[in-house]
Chains A and B, each alone.
Chain A
Amino acid sequence: MPKSRDIRALPGLKWFSLGFFVYLYLPLLILVIFSFNATKSATVWGGFSLDWYAKALANDDIRRAAWNSLVIATTATVFSTTMATMAALSLTRNKSLPRKPLFNGMLLLPLMVPEIVTAVATLTLFATIGLSLGLGNIIIAHTVFCIPFAYLPIRARLQGMDESLETAARDLYASKWATLRFVTLPLLAPGIVSGAMLAFIISIDDFIITLMVAEAGSTTLPIYIYSLVRIGITPEVNAVSTVLLIISIFFVTLSYLVEKRGKF
């Protein structure tokens, strides 16, 4: 094989990258494969079967946990995306708002605060004010930490949007509200959808904060999986995890496609 003459090619990078991807995806691949195992072992292959999926589906606890997760993630997504959209609109479009970088930083800071700190702080707050709304507690906590995730793609979309489009709408007899409804929001939609998907994924997958604030009966899927693993890994756990993985991949792909399609 002739040596590459491409000046941008770095020797050895190909094998390094390959190793990286194997490290990243091999465990996931094994998890998925063993979810189809016919025997009760999570490490020794015993033939193909869908029994574990059937078993997981028939398990009332799993179904309840999955339902809880869906309710929490959906509600938290709606709330956090709405708030993130409003925040992005005022931080990119309101000319007279002072100290925008400060507010922007404050919005994004939760991304960097260790989750365990947020979890303890939230738990303390809820305990102090005696908040006990069942799933409501988790929804409130999730809404809060989902806001910065939803905010990022929405803000990016707004910043890339030509402000003269909104000016043109005002020029063509559209009031502020009509401009928002007919021009800003339709153009912002891909950003909003993308932000919502991200919020949904973050919420459905959250463990630490949920574990802290969840009351009895508000078990979510990640917490239930954790409790199963503590008893011992069975292919049932693999099956549930695979379903969760597929949901995540589905939403991330959708978010990517929406953003790609909506390019100006």
Chain B
Amino acid sequence: MRDESLTPAIQAIDICKSYPGSPPVEALKNESLSINDNEFFTLLGPSGCGKTTLLRLIAGFEDLTSGELRLYGEDISSMPPEKRPINTVFQHYALFPHMTVVENVAFGLRRRGTDVSQAQKTALEMLDLVQMSQFANRRPSQLSGGQQQRVSLARALAPHPKVLLLDEPLSALDLKLRQSMRTELKRLQRETGITFVFVTHDQEEALSMSDRIAVMSAGRVQQIASPSEIYEQPRNRFVADFIGDANFFQGKVTHQNGNTARFRISPEIEIAARTENTPPAGDVTLFVRPEKLDLLTSATSETLPGDVREISYLGNTTDYAIDLRNGPSIVVRSENHHNGDALALPGDAVHVGIDPSAVRVLEA
């Protein structure tokens, strides 16, 4: 028997999906990606980026326009959804309103041919797993949104699918519930050992739960990497901009010394950046996260002078929008300490410290 842990759970090879129309809408453009066994994999992107289309293709709700989909090495491209050992947790739960909670959870098992008593038993175990066993005989309409979401999870996990797809399952829940469900999902993934493919537009969700994230935009995967790599080393401007906040500069390299290069970002301002390989000679995009900048009251050799334009208080941090003298404007995020007083007020002259290791050069 093939060792399944070495074969990718899902392998997409040059898959395309376009919808008829004039011109046809290309929801996915020639995408190839692999999702590993026992992985919490997240598809992250703004609405219309193709992430839900990819999920529906994996589930079998849509037909591929071209390309091939494999599940543990087996071609499932033309397999109807009921034949795929893949289950889905729907955004709006999609619980059957005419069945009780336990009947909902047993549905998949029953359709697969499990006998009534065994299906009932497994369904109750699943409800136990999501702490919903006391509601087994209720109707879905008698449950709150969070409870319905748990039932929907139990229903999708009950037939023990090889891959579980989650289509923005937390988006309809309120903030506190959403946060506790994140831990819960992560726990379920660990305990069941099932490969999870999670779709979301919420970067916090993606960063906090995933083993790997695929950032998507305009029908293409922009980058696949671990959450910290996505945040710290975004491959392009879209990824850097979509995840977290970022300051961008256009600049040209002036000189290079070892692995540090200097870039001119305005006629009078140069900043240093750590680079792994030789930066291209032409215009490049530099980016730096606002929280990696320092707001100082006195100048040193590596600081840039500027004036505070406005400040926004965000609770644990404050954002300072600063116009650099003879240069672009920049946002510095600073943690609020002590009594929460601002470090500077609009109109104050300040100095911004930029550590070269915090500045990154982006692809094109």
Residues of A near any B CB (own CB < 8 A): 162, 164-165, 167-175, 178, 182-183, 186-187, 264
Q: Are A170 and B80 in contact (CB under 8 A)?
A: yes
Q: Are B111 and A178 in contact (CB under 8 A)?
A: yes
Q: Which residue from chain B places its CB closest to the CB of A262 in the assembled complex? A: B98
Indicate with 1 or 0, residue by residue over B73-93, a CB within 8 angstroms of chain A CB atoms.
Answer: 000000011110011101010
Interface of chain A: mostly helix, strand, loop or mixed: helix
Q: Are B111 and A174 in contact (CB under 8 A)?
A: yes
Q: Are A167 and B111 in contact (CB under 8 A)?
A: no
Q: Which residue from chain B places its CB closest to the CB of A163 in the assembled complex? A: B94
Q: Are A183 and B111 in contact (CB under 8 A)?
A: no
Give the chain A neighbours of B111 by CB distance below 8 A. Answer: 169, 172-174, 178, 182
Interface size class of B (residues with CB under 8 A): 20 to 34
Given contacts A162-B92, A164-B90, A172-B155, is CB(A186)–CB(B108) below 8 Å?
Answer: no
Give the chain B neighbours of A172 by CB distance below 8 A. Answer: 82, 87, 107-108, 111, 155-156, 159
Give the chain B neighbours of A162 by CB distance below 8 A. Answer: 92, 94
Further 7 A-B residue pairs, CB within 8 A, beyond A169-B111, A174-B107: A162-B94, A164-B92, A164-B94, A167-B90, A170-B81, A171-B82, A173-B112
Interface residues in B109-144 (C-beta closer than 8 Å to A): 111-112
| A100 and B95 alpha carbons, distance in the complex (Å) | 29
Give the chain B neighbours of A168 by CB distance below 8 A. Answer: 88, 90, 94-96
A165, A167, A171, A182: most-surrounded residue (chain B CB, <10 A): A171
Give the chain A neighbours of B86 by CB distance below 8 A. Answer: 171
| A172 and B95 alpha carbons, distance in the complex (Å) | 12
Q: Are B98 and A187 in contact (CB under 8 A)?
A: yes
Q: Are B96 and A174 in contact (CB under 8 A)?
A: no
| A160 and B95 alpha carbons, distance in the complex (Å) | 15
Given contacts A165-B94, A186-B98, is CB(A171)–CB(B80) below 8 Å?
Answer: no
CB of B59 closer than 8 Å to a CB of A = yes
List the 10 closest pairs (A to B, CB-CB), nearest first: A172-B108, A173-B111, A168-B94, A164-B94, A170-B81, A174-B111, A173-B112, A173-B82, A171-B88, A186-B98
Q: Are B108 and A264 in contact (CB under 8 A)?
A: no
- Distance in angstroms from B168 CB to nearest chain A CB is 13
| A252 and B333 alpha carbons, distance in the complex (Å) | 67
CB of B340 closer than 8 Å to a CB of A = no
CB of B313 closer than 8 Å to a CB of A = no
